[in-house]
């Protein structure tokens, strides 16, 4: 199946004023976003996320490499009609009513008359703003403003939604409302969502796959479930473990920590053998409470990927400097 968004060695170099310096914003980025998934695009400030999104939208062009949306070049007007975009901090004139905002954008999409009115009604229902359609935007809460922004991105019924920080600055209730809408768009409408965000918990709650970008390079990517569940460790919670067995585990570099009253958590490296640990617990007359793969937070994965990439870059740069300093 052809990816909905695909990049091949995507590179973007900015030339500073008077051409005195080159800035490498994207460095050989390869991505493949599949139809009907929620894809998280993560990275620290200055990583290149905004540059990539501008290229996807056809606002700027790559220095080298290729981007295809729905199997076609992004310059195609037919492709652009298939994309809905919600920028970070979107602004709407506060003297307009909610339905007037959508009417303005609908006209830009070429929608008119009864067809436009029907799409406005359906879209407002979808984002939960039907009761506020005649309310001035100046009286909208921040969460409502984000929902009207999402409504304008959805008005043309696009196949792809590109969302930049859709939940940043919202209170917990508004975040949950936006998150529920986005998941509903995927599950019930079959939309493909490409989300740029710093809100790692929100990404972890709704994304299928993620890519972590740093200094213009993808430093880690893949299915979120595969990332957060370690391939090496299993967590066992047991009750009534003797002090002697706890000490034995620690001497074998198996982490043991208190998990509650007379309950301990045991982190078992895969190479140690889970079943051998279970047999020893049984021999110790301990009671098994639970056993599960060890889960890491997306925040830990993000920090490890970015720090690891930067350490590798610094090591390579130092080695290059040392090599350059060697003289015959």
Sequence ranges of the domains in the chain: 5-226, 229-295
| pLDDT, average across residues 199-216 | 93
pTM: 0.82
pLDDT class of 231 with cuts at 50, 70, 90: low
Does the pLDDT of residue 69 top 90, yes or no?
A: yes
CB-count burial class (<10 Å; 0-12, 13-18, 19+) for 51: buried
| pLDDT, average across residues 83-111 | 92
- Which of 8, 7, 10, 160 lies closest to 79, judged by CA? 160
As its CATH architecture, domain 5-226 has 3-Layer(aba) Sandwich (3.40)
Residue 171: strand, helix, or coil: coil
| pLDDT, average across residues 100-104 | 96
Please state which CATH number belongs to domain 229-295: 3.30.70
């Amino acid at each position: 199946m052809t990816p909905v968004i695909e990049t091949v060695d995507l590179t973007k170099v900015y030339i500073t004023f008077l051409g005195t310096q080159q800035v490498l914003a994207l460095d050989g980025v390869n991505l493949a976003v599949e139809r009907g998934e929620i894809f998280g695009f993560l990275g620290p400030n200055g990583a290149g996320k905004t540059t990539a999104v501008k290229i996807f939208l056809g606002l700027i062009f790559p220095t080298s490499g290729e981007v295809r949306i729905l199997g076609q070049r992004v310059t195609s007007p037919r492709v652009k009609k298939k994309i809905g975009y919600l920028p970070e901090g979107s602004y709407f004139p506060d003297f307009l009513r909610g339905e007037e905002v959508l009417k303005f954008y609908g006209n830009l999409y070429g929608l008119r008359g009864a067809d436009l009115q029907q799409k406005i009604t359906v879209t407002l229902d979808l984002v939960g703003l039907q009761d506020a359609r005649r309310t001035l935007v100046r009286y909208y809460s921040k969460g409502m403003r984000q929902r009207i922004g999402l409504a304008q991105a959805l008005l043309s019924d696009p196949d792809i939604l590109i969302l930049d920080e859709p939940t940043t600055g919202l209170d917990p209730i508004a975040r949950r409302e936006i998150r529920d809408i986005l998941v509903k768009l995927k599950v019930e409408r079959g939309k493909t969502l490409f989300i740029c965000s710093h809100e790692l918990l929100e990404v972890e709650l709704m994304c299928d796959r993620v890519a972590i970008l740093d200094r213009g390079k993808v430093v880690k990517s893949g299915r979120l479930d595969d990332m957060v569940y370690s391939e090496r460790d299993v967590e066992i919670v047991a009750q009534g473990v003797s002090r002697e067995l706890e000490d034995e585990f620690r001497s074998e570099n198996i982490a043991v920590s208190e998990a509650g009253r007379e309950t301990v958590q045991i982190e078992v490296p895969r190479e140690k053998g889970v079943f051998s640990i279970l047999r020893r617990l049984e021999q110790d007359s301990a009671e098994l409470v639970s056993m599960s793969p060890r889960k890491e937070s997306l925040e830990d994965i993000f920090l490890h990927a970015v720090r690891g990439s930067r350490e590798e870059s610094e090591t390579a740069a130092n080695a290059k400097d040392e090599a350059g300093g060697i003289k015959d």
